[in-house]
Structure 1
Amino acid sequence: MNELFSGDNKIITIVILGAILMLVMALTLILFFYLSRKKIIQKELEKKTLELNHQKEMLKATIVAQEAERNRIAQDLHDAISAKLNVVSLSANFLLEEENVTPQETEEIINHMLKVTNKTIESSRKIAHNLLPPILEKFGLGAALEELCDEFSNSKKVSVSSRIDYKVGKLSENDELHVFRIVQELINNSMRHGKAKEIALNFKPEKENLCLYYRDDGLGFDTNKIGVQKGLGLRNIESRVSLLNGEIVFRSEKLKGVEVEITI
């Protein structure tokens, strides 16, 4: 009888130990899944935070670029338009108010006013062209990029070769302007900071994307320090690429030029 009870006790003990073991395993699994889930949520939050910070940085860069552009336009209007119109106004008042002006002086003043007026008209056209190139509006992005490259090449300060394969209407007018400004900024940076003498541009479709390949032979920079060296120009480029839902990659070394690949 004692042996029977002893056997039953062993079975009960084994069952209890098994139940405890199963409970421990269940608790361990629950804890594991809880901690894993918590870690995944934390990673997602960190990712979202990084994305928000990046968006804030891009927005800030866009606002700074817009303010810089407004200041440049205001300066151009003041220097190229207001100053010249002031000269015309002073000359016209002189003719109207002065009584002892000889016919020869009158003719000279009028000719001077006409010259200043023509220069003012030309300056206003240049400012308007910088704001929105007419060729971009009339003939699209491909023609505008070709004209831009020709303009820089004709300056004799840099040689720009280009291969443009772009179908009109592939991008919206607003997005076309973004691409145009990106290329414009890249060339300006190559000349101003990189001291480049040769630039190559290739803009073409690849599968469902549009790819822009850009290369110069300038001074280059350390890509590991790009975050530190990033100025308004690069931030402006990155903000426009972000608005295009694109990706940008910089490749460069000191004294070995710059390569830029943008996928839209």
Structure 2
Amino acid sequence: MVEVRMRDAFVISLVISLMVLVMSSMMAFFATGMTEEAIQPALRTGLVLGIGVGSVVLLFSLARVRDHAEKGQAREESRAAEVEALRIEMAYLSSETDGAWNVEERIRRERGVLTFDMHGLNAPMAAGATERLLAIRQNLKRVRVVTGRGEILHENSADPGIRPAVLQRLRIGAEAVDWQVLEKAGSITLRPMGTAPTKIQRVRRFVFFVIPMCTIMGFTFRDLAGSTLEEQGLAFGIGSGLLLTALLSSYRDRSG
């Protein structure tokens, strides 16, 4: 998985800010009649929106980078433990397939996601492996199960019975162990439903984000409202900032 650094957060926010600046300036220019007098107000609107959106993106990007940096070492150890736990649990499949299914190759971390490749198994084996997967849910977070598309497309295609067998088991037991089932072509991703933040965490997030969010939103909508509706625009922006901050403060942790 690509590591996002502090510099990347600034670059991302700058790029998004420039994109918003250009697009909003063009839209404001077109909306005001495309006259020479409309150029400066359009640029001013674009600048305000660009800085506002870029600041919000930068704020959350830096918070995310800081969180990842603090948990980096523990996260790597946890990921290694996940791979080992799943390999130990599924080691019996190598014996059942007379070594054709290599646990070291089929269970791996791919682009940061724990991957369980079922190619080489038959439907009953895949169903049994899914039951074991659900049984050790407490040791795992996000898991990608490669099942194939459920049809034979070429000689290396997985057993077409694997996908329906796995889905049947997951539809029965995944929700009970706090996994969300995301079906994709050729694979099934098991994503944690997420841990709801505590009241203290919500308050901390709200206190941390409310001032910059309301400031940015308030001044942005004040400028957009124009000189005749400055107060209404400011009030609307602050209200929007409060609502957005409240929503962001309650997001669930789906890491892993």
TM-score, normalisation: structure 2? 0.29
Q: Normalising by structure 1, report the TM-score.
A: 0.29
